[in-house]
Amino acid sequence: MFSYRHAFHAANHADVIKHATVVQVLDYFNQKEAPYWVIDTHAGAGIYDLTDEWASKNSEHESGLDRLLGAKPPPMIARYLETIEQFNPDGEARFYPGSPWLALSLLRPKDRLRLFELHPTEFRNLGLNIASLASEDQKKIQTYERDGFAGLKALLPPPTRRAVTLIDPSYEDKSDYRKTLLCLQEALKRFPTGCYLIWYPLVQRREATEMVRALERLHDVNWLNASLTVHRPSRDGLGLHGSGIFIVNPPWTLQKSLKNTLPWLAETLAQDKFATFTLRSNEAQKQASKGAQKRSPSGK
């Protein structure tokens, strides 16, 4: 249950698509004066040293973040890299901010950050990292050493009536797929106007495919679903060949940003010729459905 450590995977291709999207969403929320919350159900340690033994074990950043450095990226990726540069003033990409630290760098004095983390070591490291922050940043944060799936509902709706919630489990336990779907469904009942970002892995697992299909069947909500495949699925059925980010109630600007970004990411992060991307939305499905109805001889 407690085997997963995000430092093993910090700054990999999955973090790139996930965190670039997080930055875009928060930039959009900052366009309005009203305060908001950011809630992270699986916060991790907050920030990672890419030179330490955990991150160096697999050096996954070499096939993720490192491939973006020195390139001429589209605006969405340029903005993402700009936020990371804030944590590396010497110009060397050593420290990688996880979702909590990316959010904290974008939050204004009136906004708040709520972090769940159940892994005891990760929670301890999260606390140590928070303790090193300036007092004005510490005041924005509240942490919970508990299961984010179960704890989220107690925070919804937030008093601000504006929030971005990231649901980002490791999915090492296959029950996480079902828990993620149920967590989102419960959250939408309590706070239907919230913005929710669900990261998911592209793996050869029935539960993963079924969860994405179930997400795309959600009714009465707007959603975007972006995925990035970096290499062909392995013959043994193991490993991560890509990942996706499913956004409920996305900013209206996000689809265009992703459309302009995903082709470049697929090319830049490709590990073989099978690298590709997808971008779907329920608006596109609605238009396709209307088109099919118009073509129907019966008009039904």
Name the CA radius of gyration of the chain, rounded: 19
Distance CA 141, CA 126 (A): 11
Q: Which of 168, 176, 220, 236 is catalytic?
A: 168
Give 128: exposed, middle or buried? Use CB within 10 Å, 0-12, 13-18, 19+: exposed
Sign of the Cα torsion 249, 252, 258, 259 reads positive
The closest alpha carbon to 3, from 54, 53, 37, 52, belongs to 54
Q: In what order do the strands lie in the sheet with 242-248?
A: 141-144, 112-116, 37-40, 163-167, 195-202, 242-248, 223-229, 276-281
Q: How many CA atoms lie within 13 A of 278 on its CB side?
A: 15
Q: Strand, helix or coil at 155?
A: helix
Active site residue 168: yes
The answer on whether 40 is annotated among ligand-binding residues is no
Distance of CA 163 to the CA centre of its chain: 15
The answer on whether 61 is annotated among ligand-binding residues is no
The structure tokens listed for 267 are: 């090319």
- For strands 223-229 and 276-281, give the pairing: antiparallel
The closest alpha carbon to 149, from 183, 113, 114, belongs to 183
The answer on whether 219 is annotated among ligand-binding residues is no
The answer on whether 241 is annotated among ligand-binding residues is no
The answer on whether 9 is annotated among ligand-binding residues is no
The answer on whether 168 is annotated among ligand-binding residues is yes
The answer on whether 13 is annotated among ligand-binding residues is no
- List of residues 6+ apart from 40 with CB closer than 8 A: 99, 100, 103, 113, 114, 115, 116, 148, 165, 166, 168
Q: What is the set of active-site residues?
A: 168
Residues comprising the binding site? 19, 42, 99, 117, 147-148, 168
Residues comprising the binding site for S-adenosyl-L-methionine? 19, 42, 99, 117, 147-148, 168
